[in-house]
């Protein structure tokens, strides 16, 4: 049963249903008797004409009949003369009424027809517009993909040209290795395309990340001496948000296309592998390390090594934030997790909590995020079964693990 909070939507849906039913069924009002104004006019005309026709007096005997008829005719003739102007006036007024009503009715009909045509045309135009908007969206996605591919191609060509000008014999072993390594980046642009299609738009992701700002601000980090490092920064939504809040942050990513995109947005991003980057940092040099949809891309051993390094480089009071898909949601764990082909294994939240604690992090907290909207859930049923079903299938799609260095 709908709750009071849904009242507006409930009423709108009901009205749509009624309108659809009225549109599809024949107009009931056509069956209603016509407006009776013509009856009034006819009656009025009758009264206006009284005295013009002489009554027949059929009930009287013939001689009397003739006399009465003669007398009545004479009387009417006299009255006709007296009332001629009034009667003419009355009949003229009635005629004028009749003409006006006719004009009004025909105007009504014409305007109704015009309205119908107008409504039909508007509906057609709206449908066309909707279709065109869908096509434009699809085209836009393809154009974006082509842009990323071109960016990557451009980068490759620059590198090749650079090496050609140096002279083939002067190309170092490492440079050759770099070139070969380009093969590993062939899928970078495709990966950006997948992000755009399945992760969500930059705006949506940025909106979701707002929830972490109070945690950062409460820990009093992001200042010059306690910068934030975002590992696997991707399209740079988090870095952008931190920047807008005057917090000192930089990002790491291995995807060349994403790194270029971020730099074009003015974000401080380094193309580097995380573990090797961290190993080059001094102890207690960072305020926070964050990784959004990072840890599920790597194996368990890598995760442990990463956490050890993160603990070392964090200042006391610093924190780590890892957001990752929640396999506790059956749809995520069995299907949606695998939409990203670079995902390795789903990581249950109790495991991550335990791992963080055993690596030395304190006050480890798991927060579940991004449940499905109510429209997906079974509603109007408060039974235990429905509740559990909704929790398992339409509950939080992600969770975040937050741990602190003492």
Partner 1 sequence: MTHIAICTPEISYGDAVSSDVLGMFNILNEQNLKVGIFAENILIKDKTIKNIDFISDFIKYRKDLIIYHHSAGWFKGLNLLTSLDCKKIIKYHGVTPPDYFYGFSRDHVETCKGGIEQLNIIANLDLEMYLNDSRFDMVEMISKGAKASKCFIVPPFNNIGRLKGLKPDFFILEKYNGKEVNILSVGRVAPNKGFIELIDAFALYNKYFNKESRLIIVGDKHPRLSAYIDFLYDRVRYIGFDNSIVFTGKVNDEQLKSYFLIAKIFALTSHHEGFCLPLVEAMSMKIPVIAYGSTAVADTIGDGGIVWGDLDINLIASTINEVVTSEDVYFFLGEAGWRRYKNNFTNKIIKEIFLSVIGKYL
Partner 2 sequence: MKRIAIVIQRCHEKVVGGSEAEAWHYANLLKEDFKVHILTTTAVDSERWDNVLPEGDEISNGICIKRFKVSQGRADYWGEICKQLLDEFNNVRSKSSTKLVKRLIEWPTALQEEFIYKQGPYSDDLMDFLSEKGEDYKAIIFLTCLYPTTYFGMFHVPRGKIIFVPTLHDEPPIYLSVYKYVAKRSRIILWNTESEYRFGRLLWGELPGCVVGMGVETKESPPAELNFPYILYCGRIDINKGCAQLIDYFLKFKKDCPSDLCLVLTGDNRTKLPTTKDIVFKGNVPEVKKLELMSGASIFIMPSPNESFSIVTLEAMAQKTPILASNGSEVVIEHVKKSDGGLLYSGYEGFKTGINFILENKHEAKDMGEKGRKYVIKNYNVGKIFKKLKDRIESFD
Binding footprint of partner 2 on the chain (CB under 8 A): 1, 3-4, 381-384, 387
CB of 251 closer than 8 Å to CB of 270: yes
Nearer to partner 2, 3 or 25 (CB): 3
Closest CA to 257 of 341, 153, 178, 160: 153
Closest CA to 69 of 57, 86, 61, 87: 57
Q: Does 11 bind partner 1 (CB under 8 A)?
A: yes
Strands (E), 242-355: 249-253, 269-271, 286-292, 314-325
Give, as one character, the DSSP assignment of residue 195. I
CB of 335 closer than 8 Å to CB of 396: no
For 397, the 3-state DSSP assignment is strand
Residue 64 binding partner per list partner 1, partner 2, none, with a CB distance cut-off of 5 to 8 Å that depends on partner kind: none
Nearer to partner 1, 7 or 362 (CB): 7
Between residue 17 and residue 36, which ones bind partner 1 under the rule CB under 8 A?
17-19, 21-22, 27-29, 31-33, 36
Nearer to partner 2, 263 or 377 (CB): 377
> For residue 361, how many C-alpha atoms fall within 13 Å in the half-sphere facing its CB?
31
Q: Does 46 bind partner 1 (CB under 8 A)?
A: no
Nearer to partner 1, 32 or 375 (CB): 32
Residue 17 binding partner per list partner 2, partner 1, none, with a CB distance cut-off of 5 to 8 Å that depends on partner kind: partner 1
Q: Does 71 bind partner 1 (CB under 8 A)?
A: no
Minimum separation from the CB atom of position 327 to partner 2 (A): 24
Minimum separation from the CB atom of position 28 to partner 1 (A): 5
Calculate the dihedral angle through the C-alpha atoms of 251, 255, 261, 262, rounding to the nearest 10 degrees.
Answer: 0
Q: Does 4 bind partner 1 (CB under 8 A)?
A: yes
Of the listed pieces 11-19, 51-59, 85-93, 386-394, which binds partner 1 according to CB under 8 A? 11-19
Nearer to partner 2, 3 or 282 (CB): 3
Minimum separation from the CB atom of position 113 to partner 1 (A): 17
Number of residues that bind partner 1 (CB under 8 A): 22
Task: Give the DSSP H or E segment for 358.
Answer: helix 349-358
Of the listed pieces 9-17, 144-152, 274-282, 355-363, which binds partner 1 according to CB under 8 A? 9-17
Residue 384 binding partner per list partner 2, partner 1, none, with a CB distance cut-off of 5 to 8 Å that depends on partner kind: partner 2
Burial of 263 (0-12, 13-18, 19+ CB in 10 A): middle
Phi, psi of 359 (to 5 degrees): -85, -5
Nearer to partner 1, 78 or 112 (CB): 112
Q: Residue 327 and residue 399: Cα distance in Å, rounded? A: 9
Closest CA to 323 of 298, 291, 275, 349: 291
Minimum separation from the CB atom of position 4 to partner 1 (A): 6
CB of 355 closer than 8 Å to CB of 368: no
List of residues contacting partner 1 (CB under 8 A): 1-2, 4, 7-8, 10-11, 14-15, 17-19, 21-22, 27-29, 31-33, 36, 39
């Amino acid at each position: 049963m709908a709750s009071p909070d849904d009242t507006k939507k409930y009423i709108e849906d009901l009205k749509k249903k009624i309108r659809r039913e009225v549109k599809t069924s024949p107009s009931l009002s056509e069956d209603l008797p016509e407006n009776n104004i013509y009856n009034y006019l006819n009656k009025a005309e009758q009264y206006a004409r009284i005295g013009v026709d002489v009554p027949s007096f059929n009930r009287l005997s013939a001689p009397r009949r003739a006399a009465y008829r003669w007398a009545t005719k004479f009387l009417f003739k006299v009255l006709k003369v007296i009332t001629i102007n009034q009667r003419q006036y009355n009949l003229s007024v009635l005629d004028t009424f009749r003409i006006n009503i006719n004009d009004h009715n025909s105007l009504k009909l014409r305007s109704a027809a015009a309205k119908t045509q107008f409504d039909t045309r508007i509906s057609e135009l709206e449908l066309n517009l909707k279709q065109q908007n869908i096509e434009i969206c699809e085209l836009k996605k393809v154009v974006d993909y082509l842009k990323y591919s071109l960016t990557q191609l451009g980068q490759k060509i620059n590198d090749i040209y650079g090496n050609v000008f140096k002279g083939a014999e002067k190309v170092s072993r490492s440079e050759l290795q770099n070139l070969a390594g380009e093969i590993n980046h062939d899928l970078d642009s495709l990966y950006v395309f997948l992000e755009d299609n399945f992760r969500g738009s930059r705006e949506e992701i940025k909106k979701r990340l707002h929830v972490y700002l109070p945690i950062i601000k409460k820990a009093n980090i992001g200042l010059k001496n306690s910068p934030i490092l975002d590992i696997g920064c991707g399209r740079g939504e988090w870095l952008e948000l931190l920047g807008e809040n005057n917090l000192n942050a930089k990002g790491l990513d291995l995807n060349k296309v994403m790194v270029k995109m971020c730099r074009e947005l003015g974000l401080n991003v380094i193309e580097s592998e995380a573990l090797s980057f961290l190993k080059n940092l001094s102890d207690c040099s960072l305020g926070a390390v964050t990784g959004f949809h990072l840890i599920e891309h790597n194996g368990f051993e890598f995760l442990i090594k990463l956490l050890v390094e993160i603990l070392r480089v964090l200042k006391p009071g610093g924190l780590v934030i890892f957001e990752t898909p929640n396999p506790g949601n059956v749809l995520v764990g069995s299907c949606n997790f695998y939409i990203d082909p670079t995902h390795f294994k789903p990581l249950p939240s109790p495991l991550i909590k335990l791992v963080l604690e055993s690596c030395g992090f304190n006050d480890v907290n798991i927060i579940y995020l991004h449940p499905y909207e109510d429209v997906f859930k079974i509603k109007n049923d408060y039974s235990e079964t429905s509740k559990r079903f909704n929790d398992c299938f339409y509950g939080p799609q992600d969770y975040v693990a937050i741990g602190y260095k003492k």
